[in-house]
Amino acid sequence: MREATIRTDHGEAETAARIAAALRPDNTEEMSTTTDGATVETRIERQTTGGLAATVDDYVVNLAVAADLATADRDTHE
């Protein structure tokens, strides 16, 4: 089994919660997403290195979109 843990800090617990909520529907059975304060943590397990790399790549794209959307409203009001 191959595994990766990705932790990202989003500055505020509320932002991290919104990002995690946006990510969870795309999680497969081999993935889990949690929050700890302002940090989002996703653990990914896959049988092969190639499968792990592909899943991490997909996750990072989804994370970037979720983070952009979670902070878009705040950015327009600053």
Q: What is the CATH number of the domain that holds 8?
A: 3.30.310.50
Tokens of residue 59, six digits? 């996750």
Tell me the pLDDT of the chain (78 aa) as tens digits. 999 999 999 999 999 999 999 999 999 999 999 999 999 999 999 999 999 999 999 999 999 999 999 887 665 555
Which residues make Cβ contacts (< 8 Å) with residue 12, sequence separation at least 6?
A: 38
pTM of the model: 0.88
**Whole-angstrom Cα Rg for the chain:** 13
Query: What domain range is 41 assigned to?
Result: 2-77
Tokens of residue 78, six digits? 């600053």
Total domains in the chain come to 1
Q: Which helix (H) or strand (E) holds 37?
A: none
Strand boundaries in the chain, DSSP class E: 2-9, 31-36, 39-46
Tokens of residue 11, six digits? 């500055």
Residue pair 45/6 in contact (Cβ under 8 Å)? The answer is no
